[in-house]
Chains A and B, each alone.
Chain A
Amino acid sequence: MQDERSLVQRAQKYDQEAFAQLYERHFDKIYRYIALKIGNYADAEDMTQQVFINSLQSISSFKWRDIPFSAWLFRIAHNQVVDYLRKKTRQPTASLDNVLAISDSNPQQSAEDSLATEQLMSAARKLTPAQQEVISLRFAGELPIAQVAEIMGKSPGAIKALQHSAIVALRKLMLDDKDVQPKKQPNR
């Protein structure tokens, strides 16, 4: 795998092959990050695309320094998400069922997986914003702890603690959700 730094340098000179490699390398991670944060697959797809178009338009202003390219991309994605959620709060929210119904058109995803994803997204939405962010960056974005720390402006130690509390909270929320499910839909 080619060094990301040299790929970025080439991409900044509009080397199409380098940019294409960066795109393929990060596309799925950015998509998962956005999907987890907003809980809507269709919108996550559009927003992922927008993140890469924006990065294309602003790549020349990117300077490596202490921030790796992936962290920069996630910042763009984060800003898109924040803007999306800000606009969304002004509109009636679609129910999660409706939102996830879109994903049912994906033949690769079984109903069981969809349920697990639905549970996770539902639980993640109840975390604090900081916990949500660390889970999204770490699990969906697959970023190392040092990069998450850089992005969130905290020490790696603080991120580890936050990650711990987020997983504990997520477990509790997912278990609570499981306990509630049978009451909502009793077996016949």
Chain B
Amino acid sequence: MFNRKNNQIDSILDDCLERILVRGESAEECLAHYRQYADELKPLLQTVVATIKALDIEPRPDFRAKARYQFHSALKEAVSKKHRRFFGWQLRWVTMASLSLVLLLSGGGVVAAASNSMPDSPLYQVKLVTEQIQLLLTSSPEDKAELHAKLVDRRVTEIINMAEEENVGLVELTTQRLDNHLSMIVSISATQVIDGGILSDWAPESPTITETVTTTIGAGGILNEVTSDSLPPTVTKSADTTVLIPDLPVPTVIYLPSEDLATQLRQYSASNIAALYAALESASEEVKPALMQAIAVLESGYSNALSAIGE
């Protein structure tokens, strides 16, 4: 009996609230609908009206204007990023498809022949295109870094060959390409994504944020470049406000084993630097400055790459 009366009052109070909040009725108008409950309702509706009045607050106009401007800027940025991503993908696929077609039409033999070509060879461009396709088809950051490490090794062989040919221009150009590969290793290795699946589970479709953090990697290894779709806006845990929030998992950092890459880099570093010094000894005076530049680029590049993976 008591529960039934309570349920009735709960519903009547809610109906009055709906009338006041949504339809804009006054407390008196609502009381007129429920005269038999007026004694009980009246003080509650007074509180409701006082609460609504007290909550008639707004952000400061200057803040509102600033916030609106910032939001619109962020919106524009998001739109342009989306377009960039879309066209970036299109470009990648179109490039890959075109290059694949060219290579198919020209026959597999050409690719095989080009693989050992040097920078002064007509087939060298095919070699570079093949490498680009390999890089485009490699999605894992770790594999990509390893591929760049192998390509550095190739460039060193080419530099030595061009130094023997006394082709200073191509030694310098190949050194630039070598530098690009080393920079890519550093760049890939220094990118980590933190996956912090910490949104309350009362959000079946949790709002998410993708967050990529660039940082120096610890000794554990390089970090996978993963797009996280599970980052929430905030960490949600509080002793006195856990009414809606369950226990949350600890944020995790995804590490990839870097042993292969580290081993490769150490081996390549030692052998390639030694090979360039050996080439320098027998090089003509004309080509020596370009070779010394190549050695400097190689030494600092390997050093940076090894640091980036915590070696």
Interface positions of A (Cβ within 8 A of B) = 14, 16, 19-20, 23, 27-28, 31-32, 35-36, 41, 44-45, 48-58, 61-63, 65-67, 72, 75-76, 78-83, 85-86, 89, 103, 105-106, 108-109, 113, 116-117, 119-121, 128-130, 132-133, 135, 138-140, 142, 144-145, 151-153, 157, 160-161, 163-164, 167-168, 170-171, 174
Chain B residues closer than 8 Å to A16, beta-carbon distance = 72, 75-76, 79
- The 5 residue pairs across chains A and B that have the minimum distance between CB atoms: A83-B234, A120-B54, A54-B233, A160-B10, A171-B47
Q: In the bound complex, how far is the Cα of B233 from the Cα of A120, in angstroms? A: 28
Kindly identify, within residues 60 to 88 of chain B, every residue whose CB is under 8 Å from any CB belonging to chain A.
Answer: 60, 63-64, 67-68, 70-72, 74-76, 78-79, 82
Q: Are B74 and A53 in contact (CB under 8 A)?
A: yes
Q: Are A82 and B59 in contact (CB under 8 A)?
A: no
Q: A20-B72, A117-B54, A171-B44 are in contact. Are A82 and B234 (CB under 8 A)?
A: yes
Chain A residues closer than 8 Å to B75, beta-carbon distance = 14, 16, 19-20, 56
Q: How far in angstroms is the closest Cβ of chain B from A30?
A: 10
Q: Are B207 and A36 in contact (CB under 8 A)?
A: no
Check if B24 is an interface residue, CB within 8 A of chain A. Answer: no
Q: In the bound complex, how far is the Cα of B22 from the Cα of A139, in angstroms? A: 11
User: Count the A-B residue pairs with Cβ separation under 8 angstroms: how many?
Assistant: 199
Q: Are B52 and A139 in contact (CB under 8 A)?
A: yes
Q: How far in angstroms is the closest Cβ of chain A from B5?
A: 12
Tell me which of B9, B74, B206, B241 contacts A82 (CB under 8 A): B241
Chain A at the B interface: SS class? helix
Chain A residues closer than 8 Å to B17, beta-carbon distance = 138, 163
Q: Are A113 and B51 in contact (CB under 8 A)?
A: no
Q: Can you give 19 contacting A-B residue pairs, CB < 8 Å?
A: A16-B75, A16-B76, A23-B71, A31-B58, A44-B59, A50-B233, A52-B67, A58-B233, A72-B203, A79-B232, A82-B237, A113-B54, A113-B56, A128-B243, A139-B55, A140-B55, A160-B10, A160-B14, A171-B43
Check if B173 is an interface residue, CB within 8 A of chain A. Answer: no
Q: In the bound complex, how far is the Cα of B69 from the Cα of A156, in angstroms? A: 38
Check if B210 is an interface residue, CB within 8 A of chain A. Answer: yes
Q: How far in angstroms is the closest Cβ of chain A from B7?
A: 7
Chain A residues closer than 8 Å to B206, beta-carbon distance = 61
Q: Are A56 and B199 in contact (CB under 8 A)?
A: no
